[in-house]
Homo-oligomer: A and B are copies of this chain.
Amino acid sequence: MNYEKFKNCIDACYECASECDHCATACLQEEDVKAMAKCIQLDRYCADICRMAAAFMARADGFMGENYSRQLCGFCATICEECGAECDSHKTEHCKNCAEACKRCAEECRKMAA
């Protein structure tokens, strides 16, 4: 089953989506929200693209879609890398957790895209 071979990447994508969704909410509650604006913006894009990449992979099973999944994973990796770099520049725990999830996801997506 082709779906299985995507399992690690799907898990990394959904984990990253959750951390990004949560990070944006936590950023909105920080004292200096303005300093987190770029992080929030990237979190929004990253959460959505991760969720969609996971959905594309789960649907790809030798019947159209594997190629789409690989292309979307390549794009997803780029956003994860940029979101992870931004998160890494902040000291808050939610940003650190998010940065880690972004990096793991970027790695898994790069493997898929290759």
Which of A's residues lie within 8 Å of B, judged by CB? Answer: 3, 10, 14, 17-19, 21-22, 24-26, 28-29, 32-34, 37-38, 40-42, 44-45, 47-49, 51-52, 54-56, 58-65, 68, 71-72, 75, 79
Contacts and interface: CB of A to CB of B under 8 A. Distances in A.
Nearest to A47: B55
Contact of A25 (B22, B49, B60): B60
Given A22-B3, A54-B18, A55-B21, A28 B40 contact: yes
In this complex, the member of A18, A28, A54, A62 whose beta carbon has the largest number of chain B beta carbons within 10 angstroms is: A28
Nearest to A26: B61
A58 B21 CA distance: 6
